[in-house]
């Protein structure tokens, strides 16, 4: 059974069909990428997977459970988290505080535990702090934990946003254009970081326009064009697929896969 299986989903905005009979599957431990021209429906698909938009038809199964049209907080608790194309950190909060926010989706204590700082509250807050620090160590930013998010470089902020998503305890992480705005060195570091995520047991589904990142990180690639899934395969298959070249790449990629 696949970790995630999407079957024949349809999403319309008024008279516009954003996604038309889209299906895909993701296996546990894979890095799967989604590419396509601007307006192809990629972010809409991410919004559907995370409960921001509802579908009109089809089914989304995660770990054997139907999750279509569930609210975002329920989907996060089930084990799916995401980042956004535009960084959404709290710039005037410290780095560790931004990551801690992710841990609180699974808070088990209640309002009165927090109000009276009960033993249960104190124990869980210690565990959450330990989780945040562990994640900051993993991304090499433990030394910046008390700095404000606004003081970090663009690439560092991207990493903190990913750490916040991981802090939810997710199994599947959706990365929406994680390399956007990065220079060549930052993109290379991101490639290593995403591989480390996979090696540490996470499954990764990403949207990305940087074809160097896509071709060098993906186990498999799906291609959307005007809301229709036109191709699926390994990087070398996608790079030489005539439909993909026509719809998106604009020409044959040479030496795309290293």
Query: What is the value of pTM for the model shown?
Result: 0.87
252 and 137 in a single domain? The answer is no
pLDDT of residue 180: 84
How high is the pLDDT of residue 249?
54
One domain, residues 213 and 231: yes
Identify the CATH number of the domain in which residue 40 sits: 3.40.50.300
Q: Are residues 163 and 183 both part of a single domain? A: no
**188 and 248 co-located in one domain:** yes
Question: Which residue, 169, 195, 228, sits at the end of a domain?
Answer: 169
Q: What is the dihedral of CA 168, 172, 173, 175, to 10 degrees?
A: -160
Cβ atoms within 10 Å, residue 171: 17
Q: How far is CA 215 from CA 177, 219, 227, 235, 256, in A?
A: 14, 9, 22, 5, 6
How many domains does the chain divide into? 2
What domain range includes position 125?
Answer: 88-169
Same domain, yes or no, for 75 and 113?
A: no
Cα–Cα dist 47/41, whole Å: 10
Query: Is 181 in the same domain as 258?
Result: yes
User: Of 115, 140, 169, which residue sits at a domain end?
Assistant: 169
Same domain membership, residue 63 and residue 131: no
**Domain termination residue (choose one: 125, 140, 169):** 169
Note the pLDDT tens digit of each residue in 155-198: 899 999 999 999 999 999 999 998 888 888 888 888 888 999 99
**CA nearest 239: which of 222, 223, 256?**
256
Please give the average pLDDT of every successive group of 10 residues along the chain, which has 258 residues.
95 94 97 92 96 95 96 95 90 95 79 74 80 90 95 91 93 92 83 90 93 91 94 94 77 42
Is 25 found in the same domain as 150? no
- Indicate whether 203 and 153 sit together in one domain: no
Verify that 53 and 24 share a domain, yes or no.
yes
Residues 178 and 256 in one domain: yes
Please give the Cα distance from 151 to 155 (Å, whole number). 12
156 and 189 assigned to the same domain: no
CA-to-CA distance for 210 and 183, rounded, in angstroms? 11
């Amino acid at each position: 059974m696949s970790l995630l299986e999407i079957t024949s989903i349809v999403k319309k905005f008024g008279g516009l069909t954003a996604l038309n009979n889209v299906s895909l599957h993701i296996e546990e431990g894979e890095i799967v990428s989604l590419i396509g021209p601007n307006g192809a429906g990629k972010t809409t698909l991410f919004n559907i997977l995370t409960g921001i938009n509802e579908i009109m038809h089809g089914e989304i199964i995660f770990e054997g459970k139907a999750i279509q049209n569930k609210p975002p907080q329920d989907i996060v608790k089930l084990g799916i988290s995401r980042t956004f194309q535009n960084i959404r950190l709290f710039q005037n909060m410290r780095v560790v505080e931004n990551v801690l926010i992710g841990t609180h989706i699974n808070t088990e204590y209640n309002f009165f535990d927090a109000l009276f700082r009960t033993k249960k509250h104190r124990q869980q807050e210690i565990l959450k702090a330990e989780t945040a620090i562990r994640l900051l160590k993993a991304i090499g930013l433990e030394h910046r934990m008390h700095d404000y998010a606004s003081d970090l470089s663009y690439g560092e902020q991207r990493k903190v946003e990913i750490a916040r998503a991981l802090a939810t305890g997710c199994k599947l992480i959706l990365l929406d254009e994680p390399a956007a705005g990065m220079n060549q060195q930052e993109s290379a570091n991101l490639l290593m970081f995403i591989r480390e995520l996979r090696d540490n047991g996470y499954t990764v589904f990403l949207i990305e326009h940087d074809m160097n990142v896509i071709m060098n990180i993906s186990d498999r690639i799906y291609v959307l064009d005007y809301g229709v899934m036109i191709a699926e395969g390994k990087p070398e298959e996608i790079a030489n697929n005539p439909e993909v070249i026509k719809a998106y790449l604009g020409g044959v990629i040479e030496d795309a896969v290293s």
